[in-house]
Amino acid sequence: MEKYKGLAADIIKNVGGEENVISLTHCITRLRFKLKDENLANKETLEAMDGVMTVVQSGGQYQVVIGNAVKDVYETILEQTAIQGGKDKAEEDSQEVKGSLLDRFIDLISSIFTPILSVLVATGMIKGFTALLLALEVMAPESGTAQMLNIIGDAFFYFLPIFLGLSAARKFGMHEFTGMAVAAALVYPTLPTIMNSEKMYTLFAGTVFESAVHMEFLGLPVILMSYASSVIPIILALYFGAKIEKLFVRLVPAMLQNFLVPFLTLCVLIPLTFLLIGPLATWVGQLVGAAATGIYNFSPVLAGIFVGGLWQVFIIFGLHWGLVPIMLNNISVLGYDPVVMSHFAASFAQIGVALAIILRTKDKKLRNLAIPACISGLFGVTEPCIYGVTLPRKKFFVISCIGAAVGGGILAALGARFYLLGGLGIFGYPNFISVSSGDLSGMYTAMLASGVAFATGLLMTVLLYRQVEKQDANVTKISYEDMPQGAMVAPLSGKIVPLEEVPDNVFASGCMGQGVAIEPDEGRVIAPADGVVTTIFPTGHAVGLTLDDGREVLIHVGMDTVKLEGKYFKALVAQGDKVTAGQTLIEFSPEKIREEGYKTITPVIVTNTSEYSEINVTKENKVSFADLLLTTV
């Protein structure tokens, strides 16, 4: 970032200074300022700067075109100023929440759990290996080593509500330390002592919600629960807490908000959590655990086959986040999870398929991709296997799901249980050891199930394998036999439009680089050659590639489509991904984008044009996927 400090400072100075900026965002090539007064900006000076390609004033935005370095310049500006990235407050307040109820729920859960997941897994691994060492009598339970390992492994889980309090507060837009203070109250050290004190009376006697009352608050009965390691109570509490805090922000004078808003929020929210939210959330958690166990009791094998077989599908669509809280809740309420643990064999089925492909394929590139993917899968990281090896070849992904279903059915049929959420892959075996009794039978069951899943994936792939590496509709076949050196194939299908006719001066002027535009007739962007994804904007409307021969390519779907904020776009690759010619990079809906009033004309630009003497564009009026589009000399 150091080399962009001067440029960032000069840009801010010449847009009228920091105080003239309402908000700042960026797309794949441009800084997008919203200014209080655009007349204070110095367009001529900005366009003359090294590092600035041009300036565009459009749609209430003051756009400074940077090119590939836009993200670095953007982050440098945020570091050097008090300007807040993202939308201004008015835009945030007016923006509707998009997506279905399921989409919003998945986004909620993943946003809260993602920041803590690595530590959650790490401490779970420590707990699992500690249980294994104790069960094998490698060390005594009363030894200092065992006690220290227990402290390391247990502390995070015991105080889990505090960590969830931080991430949930961020998600709900609440002051982070206020959220943590609420969570800390739930695990206050004297609560167990109060719960073991003399009972005052009993509420809901004779029902499933029967609760002893040990204390009152302002004459109201407080139903105390154990919230250590709990999940649902703090998330639900902070959901309402964010709304309470925003109410006080509106009511309290600005000069008093710094201390009075958290004071009032804590005084209202913590008693409300103990009196109502916590008990209700705990009962809900108990009911969810009972329901999951009920499904398991109805048919353990079917439950195991269902969860195991579809787990990788859940991962692809992010639906596994809806099951993670159930697993954590079961461990917290029941002491174990008998249902969601059925996913464990999936990674072994995946590496069995990958190993078979390594043994059978004649494609060196595929083998070189599959070998490291297979190794990472051994340790439970299956994304390289899924996205790089099996999913693009559909039948092999289906085989991995079959192997995972077989393994999941075995786990459930033999009564295996997850006693903690710990390591993945081969490091996940200790998850099946009973922490309380040290029983190792669950671990042996997991080894059996994972071995069968691995063998199923391996043998089915070996028997069914054929040298059809690119049958999936997601990959377009490309033949370079008749193409000249430096050729680039069409990444879209549609009508050819000369670059100078693109209704955007930045692209039409050629300042971003030479190339051509395509008016798409199908909502798909493919890789024009083998290369690496260097940039993929979160909204999915544009992608930058560095091809294996050094050409840098920008494909920008539509004009000003960044304003759709990802609506009608789906990016299928991530930054840093290695892609092969014909692989689908982006899916989009041209018709719906046009209905929103946006043009779908798509520039395909060689951004390092200066390194080539000529850029020759096809003379055809229309191209299909993988037709010759242009050549560089």
Q: Find the mean pLDDT for residues 470-483.
A: 48
Question: What is the 8-class DSSP label of residue 320?
Answer: G
The owner of tokens 């993202």 is 86
Which token pair is 339? 């249902």
Which pLDDT value is given to residue 4?
87
CB count within 10 Å of CB 520 equals 21
Question: What is the arithmetic mean of pLDDT over 7-22?
Answer: 91
Q: Which class does domain 487-632 fall in?
A: mainly beta
State the chain's maximal CA–CA distance in angstroms: 90
Among 51-65, 109-123, 464-478, name the one with the lowest average pLDDT: 464-478
Is the model more confident about 90 or about 317? 317
Instruction: Give per-residue pLDDT as tens, 437-471.
Output: 888 899 999 999 999 999 999 999 998 875 444 44
pLDDT of 394 over the 90 cut: no
* Residue 262 pLDDT exceeds 90: yes
CA dihedral 493, 494, 495, 499 (to 10 degrees): -60
Return the higher-pLDDT residue of 67 and 11: 11
pLDDT > 70? residue 102: no
Q: What is the pLDDT of residues 405-433, one digit of tens each?
A: 999 999 999 999 988 877 778 888 888 98
Angle at 359 between CA 358 and CA 364, to 5 degrees: 50
- Picking from 136-140, 291-295, 525-529, 585-589, which range would have the lowest pLDDT averaged per residue? 291-295
SS3 state of residue 200:
coil
Asked if the model's pLDDT at residue 91 lies above 70, the reply is: no
Mean per-residue pLDDT, 317-326: 64
Fold agreement between 2-91 and 487-632: no
Does residue 317 carry a pLDDT above 60? no
Instruction: Of 37-51, 465-479, 594-608, give the range with the top mean pLDDT.
Output: 594-608
- Average pLDDT, rounded, for the chain: 84
Catalytically annotated residues: 27
**What is the band of 511 on the pLDDT scale with cuts at 50, 70, 90?**
confident
For tokens 């008093």, name the residue: 256
Token pair for 231: 């999940």
What percent of the chain has pLDDT above 70? 87
> Helix, strand or coil for residue 44?
helix
CA distances 166 to 9, 74, 111, 305, 494, Å, are 33, 27, 11, 36, 49
Backbone phi and psi for residue 194, each to the nearest 5 degrees, phi listed first? -65, -40
CA separation for the pair 12, 545 (Å, rounded):
29
Side-chain-side CA neighbours of 329 within 13 Å: the count stands at 25
Give 594's pLDDT tier (boundaries 50, 70, 90). Answer: very high
Domain ranges of the chain: 2-91, 299-464, 487-632
Q: What is the pLDDT of residue 261?
A: 94
Measured CA to CA, the distance from residue 595 to residue 565 in angstroms comes to 15
Confidence of residue 92 (pLDDT cuts 50, 70, 90): very low
Whole-number Cα distances in Å, 326 to 252, 291, 318:
39, 10, 15
Pair 452, 414: CB distance under 8 Å: no
Give kind and range of the element (H or E) at residue 285: helix 278-298
Q: What is the pLDDT of residue 409?
A: 93
Give mean pLDDT, residues 89-108: 49
Q: Minimum mean pLDDT among 16-30, 260-274, 465-479: which range?
A: 465-479
**pLDDT score of 100:** 55
CB 304 within 8 A of CB 409: yes
Q: Which amino acid is at 596?
A: E
pLDDT of 536 > 70? The answer is yes
What is the full DSSP assignment across 562-624?
Answer: GGGTTTTEEE---TT-EE-TTBEEEEE-HHHHHHTT----EEEEETTGGG-S-EEEP--SEE-
Query: Rounded to whole angstroms, how far apart are CA atoms 609 and 514?
Result: 6
CA distance 554 to 541: 11
* Mean of pLDDT values over 349-377: 84
Question: Which pair of structure tokens corresponds to residue 216?
Answer: 């009152």
Which is higher by pLDDT, 216 or 386? Answer: 216
The CATH architecture that domain 2-91 belongs to is 2-Layer Sandwich (3.30)
**How many CB atoms are closer than 10 A to CB 500?**
10
529 touches 489 (CB < 8 A):
yes
Q: In whole angstroms, what is the distance from residue 391 CA to residue 209 CA?
A: 47
H helices of 320-440, in order, are 324-334, 346-360, 364-378, 383-385, 394-413
Q: Compute the average pLDDT of residues 87-105.
A: 46
